[in-house]
Structure 1
Amino acid sequence: MVSPLADRRCVPCRGGVPPLTPAEFAPLLAQLDGWQVVENQRLVKSFRFRNFRQAVDFVNAITAIAEAEGHHPDLVVRWGEVRVELWTHKIRGLSESDFIMAAKIDRLYQEWLARTGATAGPAAGARSQAEAGGKP
């Protein structure tokens, strides 16, 4: 199930606002599936795919949402995996927009799974030698 946060819009941060405290972000985090807060500053989640091309396609879809929302995550692409990190740079911590963007990315992933009929791929590094082009 996708959080209702996915239907909200990110609000540009003008700075000078304190980051959310753990007590403030806990209810927002509870609405997300599989996201973790790291060092009370970053929201992080990895998404799994069957291959590198699917991972790159997902990143490209995230960029469209990020541009529309004006809120840009850090994205790390590996074979079969995309790691997403969100935080609000101007306040060096978490804002509500980070949680909204996370919910939008979750919705995108669920839509992708439904559209392709795919299931999430194995953990990164768990591919066979044949899938890796015969290389270990």
Structure 2
Amino acid sequence: MSDDFQQKCEACRAGAPQVSDEELPGLIRAIPDWTPVVVDGVLQLRRVYQFKNFAQAWAMCDRVAALAEEVGHHPALLLEWGKLTVSWWTHKIGGLHKMDFELAAKTDSLFTPS
């Protein structure tokens, strides 16, 4: 894990730097299954994970929740039958921090396809 994870959510401090327009394309390339979306004027990273049933989606939701608690940085999670939508962004800075990209990649590592 990077030093960012060891710092317990450096991104959550007021004044933490947002990802710049110049950094964004390179960071997005590293997590190709994630989509940048703007929600209420805030840039977020979003991915929908598909599963065979509700229980598998719920298990993934639990793994993501445990990761979020570990680092003190929490995504939006939408749990549905056979589907989990995860959205990472940094509330405190109203946008994306590099840690959001690291957490998206870490979330991918938790995924076990059905």
Contact 1:71 1:97 (C-alpha < 8 Å) held by counterparts: no
TM-score (norm 2): 0.85
Counterpart of 1:37 in structure 2: which amino acid? P
Show structure 2 runs of 5+ residues with no match: none
Flag structure 1 segments of 5+ consecutive residues without an equivalent: 1-6, 114-118, 120-136
- Displacement of 1:107 in angstroms is 0.5
User: Which of structures 1 and 2 has the bigger CA Rg?
Assistant: 1
| 1:16 matched residue in structure 2 | 15
Structure 1 residue 16 displacement after superposition: 1.5
Question: Superposed, which structure 2 residues align to 1:51-66 within 5 Å?
Answer: 51-66=53-68
TM-score by length of 1: 0.72
Give the superposition deviation at 1:29.
1.1
Which structure 2 residues correspond to residues 1-136 of structure 1 after superposition, within 5 A? 7-8=1-2, 9-10=4-5, 11-13=9-11, 14-39=13-38, 41-109=43-111, 112-113=112-113, 119=114
Please provide the CA RMSD for this pair.
1.5
Q: 2-side partners of 1:63 and 1:82: how far apart?
A: 12
Q: Which has the higher strand share?
A: 2
Shift of 1:21: 2.3
**Offset of residue 15 of structure 1:** 1.2
Distance 1:29 1:48 in 2: 21
- Any idea what the Cα deviations from partners look like across 1:79-120, whole Å, max 9, x if unmatched? 1000000100110000001001000000010xx34xxxxx3x
Does the 8 Å CA contact 2:44/2:88 hold for their aligned counterparts?
yes
Matched-pair identity in %: 36
State the distance in 2 between where 1:36 and 1:57 align.
23
Q: How far apart, CA to CA, are the structure 1 residues paired with 2:26 and 2:78?
A: 27
Deviation at 1:26, TM superposition (A): 1.6
